[in-house]
Structure 1
Amino acid sequence: MAISISDLRAAGTRAHRTTVLKSLNEALARSKPTAFLCHSHKDNDLAEGLQVLLAENGWDLYIDWKDHEMPEKPSRETADKIKKKIGGLDWFLFLATPNSSASRWCPWEIGIADTRKSHDKILIIPTSDSSGTWYGNEYLQLYNQIDTAQGGGLARFPAGQTSGGTYVRNLR
Structure 2
Amino acid sequence: MPVDLGNLRSAASRSRHYSTATNSQSARALGYKTAFLCHSHQDRTAVLGLLQVFREQGLHLYVDWMDSEMPATTNGDTARKIKNRIVEADLFLFLATPNSLASRWCPWEIGYADGVKRYESIFVIPTHERGVTYGNEYVDIYRRIDEANEGGLAAWYPRRYNDGVTARSL
Q: Structure 2 length normalisation: TM-score?
A: 0.91
Task: Output the CA distance in 1 between the equivalents of 2:150 and 2:5.
Answer: 19
Aligned position for 2:151: 152
Q: Which stretch shifts more, 97-106 or 157-166?
A: 157-166
Is structure 2 residue 94 aligned with structure 1 residue 84? no
Displacement after TM superposition at 1:140 (Å): 4.5
Q: Secondary structure at the match of 1:162?
A: coil
Question: 1:18 matched to which residue of 2?
Answer: 18
**Hey, what does 2:60 align to over in structure 1?**
59
Corresponding residue SS for 1:99: helix
Query: Do 1:20 and 1:63's aligned partners in 2 also have CA atoms closer than 8 Å?
Result: no
Q: Is the 8 A contact 1:123 1:143 kept in 2?
A: yes
**How far apart in 2 are the matches of 1:164 and 1:53?**
21
CA contact (8 A) 1:141 1:160 kept: yes
User: Which residue is 1:169 aligned to?
Assistant: 168
RMSD: 1.6
What TM-score, normalized to structure 1? 0.90
| Structure-to-structure mapping, 1:20-35, within 5 angstroms | 20-35=20-35
Query: What percentage of residue pairs aligned between the two structures are identical?
Result: 43
Q: Which runs of 5+ in 1 are unaligned?
A: none
CA distance, structure 2, for counterparts of residue 13 and residue 141 of structure 1: 32
Residue equivalent to 1:68? 68
User: Is 1:2 aligned to residue 2 of structure 2?
Assistant: yes
Q: Which amino acid aligns with 2:159?
A: G
Q: Name the counterpart of 2:102.
A: 102
SS for the counterpart of 1:49 is: helix
Alignment of 1:116-131 (within 5 A): 116-129=116-129, 131=130
Q: Which residue number in structure 2 is paired with residue 135 of structure 1?
A: 134
Listed as ranges, the gaps of 5+ residues in structure 2 are none
Residues 127 and 133 in structure 2, CA contact (< 8 A), matched pair in contact too: yes
> 1:137 Cα shift?
4.8
